[in-house]
Chains A and B, each alone.
Chain A
Amino acid sequence: MQEKPKIVVARTRRTEAPAKTFVFTAAMVPASGVLADYRQKAWQTFNRLSLPSMTEEAWRRTDLRELPADTVHLPIDGAFRDLAPVPADLLKPLTADKHGGQVVLLPGGAKPYLSPGLINKGVIFTDLHTAERENPELVARMTGQTVSPEEGKFAALAGALSQNGVVLYIPKGVTVEQPLNSLLWGPGVDLAYLSHILVWVDEGASVTYVHEAASPDENGPALHAGIVEIKVSDNASLRFVELQSWGRHIWNFSHERVSVGRDGNLDWIFGAIGSRLTKNFSELNLVGEGATGRMSGFYFTDGYQHLDHDTQQNHLAPHTTSDLLFKGALKGHSRSVWQGMIYVAVGAAKTDGYQANRNLVLSPNARADSIPGLEILADDVRCSHGATVGKLEQEPLFYLKSRGIPEKEAERLLVEGFFDPIMQRIPYEGVRARFQQAIHEKTATQ
């Protein structure tokens, strides 16, 4: 009898560097103002929670071991004066000819503007600090309305120390025609950008809001952690365009949740082309009967980018409708993760939920993970999902080239064709043009 070869595995200790720790201190937590208590509690939560590790389901595919926690600091007041200025292109309106208001968040500062017409209508649209001073009750009411610092280390960090943020309130019945825009501009290295966005579209009101986070590419790391809390009240309507154009050095984390009331409507558009690493939690809570929400995501990664989007569509009332489509293309050594869940609560009958994620992997070294999920606790519902990861096919490419279209351009046409279903869902030419531009730039590089 032949003896089985014995395999000896040397017990090598995994040389894991000790988890780096953040250098923030209790003294940095603003002690006064209407949010003092909230921040103090968030700070305690931040200290209590450890950095997420890959043993946690939500973080299984996103590795934070190289997170530069110990080197990032809060920007000092007026830091923007010594850093790269905002490119004029980022201030142009994308969804109409003209903005009704614009809030620019800078490192250590903010520049809010709202048209007099909208001020007269009672609209509030400004940066967080200004709102804390001028509208403390509203800010107190909106903070924690949909996201809790308890949700994770980064939510707690943003809750405790957010230096910057946006507060948007549309009073009952007010229809805002001109879109509102905010830009979080985050140049520089070794900085921690912590932002907190609060939106409340009150009963019967409606608005289009575009928020972009952006920075130039820099040599050296930086971090962004943010909270986005949005409430769309009964019969209200929000079109929310969220663009992530961070430089390739940014470690980006966000916790975002929108709750939609009875017969309310949300159209949520995501575009993600930047950052070194992103972990984003985006949740839709349909809390009122007849509420509807649509989520449309565009992402395109290259180099060593890693984008991880965690989406959740929660049907918490009957007759609610959700429709999610995320489409992404990947190049280089980049990686994307999409993990989606449709949850239908007990009693949420006659709901209609849909989710689909489609990925186009353009390089043999890129990888896309697509993980749909359904959890249905009600009867009489319609829920379905789809997830695909594919490559560019040779025959279409040959067909295009046989008409004289050079290889790169043929590839780009096919990528554009792939993204077309997302473009069809975006009613704003400016936003589509931005995505087209990203496709052009990313397909042109090797």
Chain B
Amino acid sequence: MSELVIKNLHVSIENKEILKGVDLAVKQGEIHAIMGPNGTGKSTLAFTLMGHPSYMVTGGEIWFRGKNLLELATDERSRLGLFLAFQYPVAIPGVTVANFLRSAVNSRRRLVTPEDKGMPILEFRKMLKEKMELLKMDSAFAGRYLNDGFSGGEKKRTEILQMATLKPEIAILDETDSGLDIDALRIVAESVNVLSGPELGVLVITHYQRLLNYIKPQFVHIMLGGKIVESGGPDLALQLEERGYDWVREKYEETPA
């Protein structure tokens, strides 16, 4: 069983320390939520796990499937089974969703068989069509340029489509609820639920409780000032919903902003 293990992780961006010793373990089949106010390093954690070049790891370790993630390039981490659903998916004009996903699928096949010629186009189309039906997406999406002119909801659904196609073992959902109205949120959350199961570990990063009404975590963590300060069960999220973050701040912040 795959496990993502983060130990005492310190991360800086432009010489400013953002993560100040994060410890966390997410197993395949588990759903974790990281909650916290804005600016506490939630997205930094997500980008660091995926190896974004702007984030400098200054201390600590990340292990995934027995491998030291910090020694792997972004694309290698992905092929190992890690997935990040972006808060702000990037538009790539001129590259269709289908073409892009085919490249991603084929790069995985080549990992197994270096001389692989790629998934035959008909087989790929059929697979993509199935995934789109599963997520109740219009098949016309496949021919559109990736995220180019997409609405907020379309972008997030496309992230989930990518997740469905690439079948990761651990998926990080970074503020997947941001910018979505309640209907779009429900659709996206249902899509995640369709995919979750014993094969998939999920780390939901969110500011608000509302996403957790749809995606039910077994573990909830509160992040503050670059650290995970509280961990607990689903009730912790409800507590935040009722009481806000102030009590956490009072409890842990030595110098309130």
Contacts and interface: CB of A to CB of B under 8 A. Distances in A.
Q: Are A and B bound to each other?
A: yes
Interface of A: 394-396, 398-407, 409-410, 413-414, 416-421
B66 to A, nearest CB: 19
Q: Which of A395, A404, A406, A407 has the most CB of B within 10 A?
A: A404
Contacts of A394: 53
Nearest to B52: A398
A402 to B, nearest CB: 5
Q: Which of A398, A407, A414 has the most CB of B within 10 A?
A: A398
Contacts of B5: none
Give the 7 A-B residue pairs with the shortest CB-CB distance, closest first.
A417-B94, A420-B94, A404-B78, A417-B95, A399-B90, A403-B104, A401-B74
Contact of A398 (B53, B95, B108, B162): B53
Given A396-B92, A403-B162, 14 more contacts: A394-B53, A400-B100, A401-B78, A402-B74, A402-B75, A402-B84, A403-B100, A404-B107, A407-B73, A416-B94, A416-B95, A417-B145, A420-B95, A420-B145
Interface string B42-59: 000000001111000000
A404 B84 CA distance: 11
B60 interface: no
A417 to B, nearest CB: 3
Given A398-B53, A413-B100, A406 B94 contact: no
Nearest to A420: B94
Contacts of A414: 92, 95
Contacts of B145: 417, 420
A405 B75 contact: yes
A404 B100 CA distance: 11
A420 B104 contact: no
A403 B50 CA distance: 10
Nearest to B163: A403
A404 B92 contact: no
A404 B75 contact: yes
B234 interface: no
Interface string B94-121: 1100011101100110000000000000
5 contacts: A401-B73, A401-B74, A402-B86, A403-B100, A414-B92
Nearest to A419: B94
Contacts of B166: 403-404
A397 to B, nearest CB: 9
Interface residues of B, number: 29
A293 B132 CA distance: 42
A409 B92 contact: no
Contacts of A419: 94
Contacts of A416: 94-95
Contacts of B162: 403
B28 to A, nearest CB: 18
A386 to B, nearest CB: 15
Q: Which of A399, A403, A416 has the most CB of B within 10 A?
A: A403
A405 B100 CA distance: 9
A413 B95 contact: yes
Interface string B69-96: 0000111011100001010011111110
Contacts of B73: 401, 407
Nearest to A422: B94
Given A403-B166, A404-B166, A405-B103, A398 B92 contact: no
Contacts of B89: 399
A400 B102 CA distance: 12
B107 A409 contact: yes
Contacts of A398: 50, 52-53, 74, 90
Nearest to B85: A402
B94 A403 contact: no
A380 to B, nearest CB: 33
A405 B53 contact: no
A395 B90 contact: yes
Q: Which of B84, B99, B100 has the most CB of A within 10 A?
A: B100
B155 to A, nearest CB: 12
Contacts of B108: 404
A179 B145 CA distance: 32
Nearest to B103: A405
Contacts of B101: 403
Contacts of B78: 401-404
A359 to B, nearest CB: 15
Contacts of A407: 73, 75
Contacts of A420: 93-95, 145
B92 A399 contact: yes
A132 B94 CA distance: 47
Interface string B28-48: 000000000000000000000
Nearest to B147: A399
Contacts of A418: 94
A402 B108 CA distance: 12
Nearest to A394: B53
A409 B166 CA distance: 17
A421 to B, nearest CB: 7
